[in-house]
Structure formats: structure tokens, C-alpha cells
Amino acid sequence: MFYVLGLISFLLPSVQGLEEICYEEVGCFPVGFPWAGTRERPEGGLPWSPKMVNTRFLLFTRDNADHFQEINSSTISDSYFQTTRKTRFIIHGFIDVGTEGWVPDMCNAMLSVEDINCLSTDWSDGSHTDYVQAANNVRVVGAEVADLVKTLRDDLGYSPSLVHVIGHSLGAHAAGEAGKRMPGIGRITGLDPAQPYFQDTPEEVRLDPSDATLVDVIHTDSAPFIPSLGLGTGQLSGHLDFFPNGGIQMPGCKQKEEYNISDIFIAFQGKHDDLVCNHLRSYRYYMESITTPSGFTGFPAASYESFSSGAGFPCPANECPVMGHYADLYSGATPSSQTYYLNTGDSPPFARWRYKVTVHISVPVSVLGSVWLSLLGLNGKTKMHDIYSGRIQPKQTHTAFIDAETKVGPLVSAHFIWSSRNEAQAKSVTVEFGGDGTRWSVAGGSSSSCSDVRKEGEFAMETLGALQTSLHGGALLRGRWGYYPCPRKRLTLVTFWSLEKTLITSRYVPLLISIVLVKRYGNLIIVIIKGKFVLGRRSSVIRQFPHPISNPIGKRVSSFTASLIRQRGAGRWRCARWAYGGDVGATPAHWGDCTD
């Protein structure tokens, strides 16, 4: 399978006739079945000697966070290592290093929140070779980790239960080898354990739950290696197996159709980042979980599809494990594997918090429309999330799950946006937090096409006063370009007709108001109108919009300005400002960058 990575034919003669190979420093390694001659491992191979693999242990502590101290079994007693601390080993994977990059960064992230011994396990000499050889070399790496833990136990009285071994890709199986050779290790974390040459092999070959008291695994690239080039295993390998985003395709990573097997080697050298993007997300999620633990809550489910439909929500008995650094705080681990699912963002910060939102909408007749909702709590607010798009029936309830980019805390308000030419009533909104099942219910009244639930029970948009209050300063739509970004593909969110109806049915109009409009005419979107209005015929307003407006009041607007925005290509927005005065026509100013 990995013949394109080279050198396999040179290994075969050295294996034939051997049952095991032994090295004085680390002991013996069987080289026959099941390490060779199987469908999963068709070609055999000998692990290199410890001298060739050249495993190095680089110690980071709070005493030397900026520079590592290289240690070994002979020097650890005279190092910064302290037996009063927990110890975390981090083992990199194929064609990687432990002297720079993500491994030292992870040590420093840990040291920012806890006083530990962090040991970067650098085996770069043994990993920078063809894949099959590197897959064999991890056995030596694991043996050397086990030997160091044995020294800690025998010479310093340090319990293996205080040891946590974290391994990425091939490094995860090195961690498993360490656990097999040194019983009693407290925890092993597999960060997308390597699939080729390990998936579907017997337990003695790969990482498995028996390798430590707790084994937790993050799967991020578990599509089949052939034909999909998945680099991580999809096989359950721990007590807690987490599948973020389903475990196959991570948000923000490109699909792999354009690549082939021969690209893998250079991908790990950084020349095809897209090919290894999913695979690398495992340690990036873990690193963020160190400082944002609650943003990676895993929900128990049999599959990603059932999770997406609501399985495991909210957390049973108000407890779910958190993927990553604090998975060991979960009290519900069992001897058998348990699967957990969650969603992440497509770029840092990846953390997400899951909410269930139920909106009861009342419309006079069946209509096509869309519903968006934003949550505002004591700790923050979310962007607008799509709740439903399609045909909405009278007195219908819609439920959706929101993976919010912030944990809002106790709910203060919910901002509701309705897209249709018909008016609607939001009878109620119920929000439930997945972490502990806390629920907030908002009982509402009538709602126009753009409504603001500023406090529990407030949907009022019938009077101009309520409109002015809830939309003051553009607060409802504050977001990417200064206002909440109503989804760009459907920008008719607050229609002129519904707003006009509010204006002309009021008995009076204040002299100074702020009004927010969003109306799309081809490439042009009218976003904000701010101005001074008096009772009168609105002849100048007619020039803004293509639709005639009937206004029985009989007087005119004295002056106002309109901010305009248009889209030019994906993600590119340009703005201008029009000035009006009485019946005088208007000319757009120079198009420039959008501002508040």
C-alpha cells in the first residue's frame, strides 16, 4: 500500500527467518505475525535500533518554559523534573519534530494553566524516512518512553498513574506501545492515530483501551485510506472516542479528491497542507481545549447523523465528557468504548457551545420564508443562526440546533429575524443549553418582519416607539460590517413594505428616529436610513424605491440620508452614502470601505 514511499523491498530480506529482534537498551520486538504478512500489514520490517531512531526527551517546566532541558534516565534526577507534579509526554508523528512547532507550543499552553513536567518526545530521526519504516520505528519510541517511566517509578518512587502520554498519528501508537510495556500508566490520548498499517490490526499492534487506565481518542481524518486518503483511524481505540464534525471532514479543510497516494510524503513536509489538514486538526483542537474546555463538549450518540438529529442532547445526568485536555474529568468512562460527537468552527477559535432552539411561529397563511435567531446572554452574544428556511405553515413550531461561537451564559435576549413579505407572530422561543440542560422560555407577542426580543416576553414591534427603541443605533443588525450580518444569500430580511406599514399606521411620528432597513435590489442593498421625519407626503422617499408608496398623511420628509451597501464578489463589500433633501434628487457618493 505504501510502496510509493519507498524502501520496502530492502527491508524484506532482513525479516525473513526472524521471529524477533532485540536491542540491549529496550528489549525485544516480535517481527512476524501479526506485525507482518497480514492484509493490513502486507510487508514486514525491522524497527531501527534506539541509536538510529535517536529518541530525545525534552523537558519543559515552569522553571524553564522558554527553553527545553534534554534529559534521559541517567540525568532526570538532576533536572527540573519534580516528582510532585503530573507528567505529560507528547509524541509527534510521521515526518515531524519535537524541538519546535506544535509540540513545544502545546507544552507551553499546558504550563500556562497547570504546574507539570512536560516532555516533548522527539524521534525526528526515526520519523523522517518512508512510512513503513517509521511505522515500525514507533515500537522503539514507545519502548523508550516506557523505560523512562520505569526509571521514574524505580529510582524516584514516581507512580505511573501520574503519567499522561499524548501521541499524534504514529505517535499515538508509540504511546500505545509504551502502555503495553509499562502497565499502570494513568492516561493515553490518541490524536488521530495513524490508519495505514494499524487499523483493523490486533490490539498488540495498535493503540487500544487496555494500554492505560484511561484512553481517550480524537478522530479527525477517518475516511478510508483507499480511496479517500484518510490518514487517521476510524476504529474505536479508547474508552472515550470523540468524532468532531463526524470525524472525516473538518470545517475549513478542503476535500482531497485532487490528490493521490504519492502526495502523502510531501504533504507531511508542508507542501500539500490541504491533504493533511484534517489529520492535523486533532492536535489543534486539543491545544485549544487546554484553555477553553467547555467549548468541546462531546455528546453520546451512535453516529454523526443521530447526533445531528439531537441524540445525546442535553448531556445525560448533566454530564458529558469534554474532548481534549480535560477528558479525564469525566466520571462516566466504562471498560468498553463510548463514542461522542460534537461540532467545531472552521477556523480558530474552534470551540463551540450547543443550544437547542424551538421557535413557535404564527403566520396567517402558508408562506415561504426564513427564520434566523441570535442569542444574547450575560457572557456574550452569538451571530445570526439559520433556524429554518422553506414553507412555513400557520401555528407551526421549528426546532434547530445551534453550535454557537460563544457560551452566552444566562440568557438575556433573543434576536429574531423573519424573512418574508408576510407578517408573522413569534408566539414563543425556547432555548436549551446542551451542557447542563438549562432552559429559557420567552413568551412573545406580535412580530414584524424584523423583530428584536430584547427581554423575555418582548417581541413588540407594532408601534414606532418600539421600533425606534429596539433598533436604536442599528443594534439589531450590528456584526461583520458594523451590523448583524443577515445571511447574504437572502438579504430581504426587513422589507420596506412591513416597515412602511408601521410608519403610516402610527398616529404620530417623532421628529427624530433611527430606522433600519435591509432591502435587496439586484446588486444594491439599502441597509440603514437615519433622518428627521415630520408628518407629510413622502414624495422624496418614492425616488429611493421602485415600488409606489401610498401615504395619506399629506406632508413630506424634510431631509434624510441613506447608507448603501453592495456586494462585489464573495466577501467583498462596498458602501456609499446618499444625501436627500426634500424633493431634490440624490447622487451616490464615492464607493468605499464599509464602516459603522
Q: What is the pLDDT of residues 97-141, one digit of tens each?
A: 999 999 999 999 999 999 999 999 999 999 999 999 999 999 999
How far, CA to CA in Å, does 538 sit from each of 495, 545, 546, 577? 17, 12, 14, 20
Q: What is the predicted pLDDT for the residue at 506? A: 30
Of 260 and 542, which is predicted with more confidence? 260
In this prediction the pTM is: 0.73
Rg, the chain, Cα only: 30
Per-state percent for the chain, helix, strand, coil, to nearest 5: 25, 30, 45
Q: Give the CA angle between residues 143, 89, 30 to the nearest 5°.
A: 15
Q: What is the predicted pLDDT for the residue at 263? A: 62
pLDDT at residue 498 is higher than 70? no
Q: What is the predicted pLDDT for the residue at 412? A: 77
**Predicted confidence band of residue 255 (pLDDT cuts 50, 70, 90):** confident
Residue 393 backbone phi and psi in degrees, to 5: -95, 155
CA distance 453 to 62: 48
For 162, other C-beta atoms within 10 Å of its C-beta total: 20
Quick one: what percent of the chain has pLDDT higher than 90? 54
Beta bridge partners of 215: 188
pLDDT at residue 553 is higher than 50? no
Fold match flag (3-342 vs 352-462): no
Q: What is the predicted pLDDT for the residue at 566? A: 36
**Predicted confidence band of residue 450 (pLDDT cuts 50, 70, 90):** very low
CA distance 283 to 298: 16
**Predicted confidence band of residue 452 (pLDDT cuts 50, 70, 90):** very low
How far, CA to CA in Å, does 215 sit from each of 45, 166, 200, 238, 554? 28, 10, 18, 5, 76
Mean pLDDT of 299-308: 98
Q: What is the predicted pLDDT for the residue at 419? A: 67
Least confident span in 98-107, 355-364, 460-469: 460-469
For 157-237, strand residue ranges (E) read 163-168, 187-191, 214-218
**Predicted confidence band of residue 490 (pLDDT cuts 50, 70, 90):** very low
Mean pLDDT of 26-50: 92
Residue 481's contacts (CB-CB under 8 Å, 6 or more residues apart) are 565, 573, 575, 594
Q: What is the predicted pLDDT for the residue at 161? A: 98
Q: What is the predicted pLDDT for the residue at 264? A: 60
Class of 3-342 per CATH?
alpha beta
Amino acid at 514: S
Residue 501's contacts (CB-CB under 8 Å, 6 or more residues apart) are none
Q: Map out the domains of the chain as residue ranges.
A: 3-342, 352-462, 471-596
Q: Which residues are designated catalytic?
A: 169, 192, 279
**Predicted confidence band of residue 377 (pLDDT cuts 50, 70, 90):** confident
In 3D, which of 217, 82, 230 has the Cα closest to residue 156?
82
Q: What is the predicted pLDDT for the residue at 67? A: 95
Highest-scoring range by mean pLDDT, 20-24, 534-538, 589-593: 20-24
Q: What is the predicted pLDDT for the residue at 164? A: 99
In 3D, which of 226, 163, 159 has the Cα closest to residue 199?
226
Q: What is the pLDDT of residues 214-249, one digit of tens each?
A: 999 999 999 999 888 899 999 999 999 999 999 999
How far, CA to CA in Å, does 422 sit from each of 447, 468, 495, 501, 579? 11, 21, 10, 12, 30
330, HSE (Cβ side, Cα atoms, 13 Å): 33
pLDDT at residue 325 is higher than 90? yes
DSSP 106-152: HHHHHHTT--EEEEEEE-HHHHSS-HHHHHHHHHHHHHHHHHHHHHH
Contact 215, 222 (CB under 8 A): no
- Pairing label, strands 424-433, 396-404: unpaired
Dihedral of alpha carbons 43, 48, 54, 57, sign:
positive
Q: What is the pLDDT of residues 147-158, one digit of tens each?
A: 999 999 999 999
In 3D, which of 201, 210, 152 has the Cα closest to residue 181?
210
Q: What is the predicted pLDDT for the residue at 344? A: 98
Collapsing DSSP states into helix, strand and coil, what is residue 353? strand
Mean pLDDT of 308-319: 93
In 3D, which of 127, 136, 152, 141 has the Cα closest to residue 179?
141
Amino acid at 71: I
Beta bridge partners of 478: 483
User: Residue 112: exposed, middle, or buried by beta-carbon count in 10 A (0-12, 13-18, 19+)?
Assistant: exposed
CA distance 551 to 505: 10
Q: What is the predicted pLDDT for the residue at 338? A: 96
- For cell 493533511, name the residue: 276
- 387 φ/ψ sector (left φ>0, alpha ψ -120 to 50, else beta): alpha
pLDDT at residue 296 is higher than 90? yes
Amino acid at 536: G
Q: What is the predicted pLDDT for the residue at 369? A: 76
Q: What is the predicted pLDDT for the residue at 154? A: 97
Instruction: List helix spans (H) across 157-242.
Output: 170-181, 225-228
Q: What is the predicted pLDDT for the residue at 410? A: 85
Amino acid at 158: Y
Highest-scoring range by mean pLDDT, 173-177, 379-383, 443-447, 586-590: 173-177
Dihedral of alpha carbons 215, 53, 117, 102, sign:
negative
CA distance 340 to 222: 15
Class of 352-462 per CATH?
mainly beta
Give me the chain's average pLDDT, please: 75
Of 295 and 555, which is predicted with more confidence? 295
Least confident span in 44-53, 247-256, 441-450: 441-450
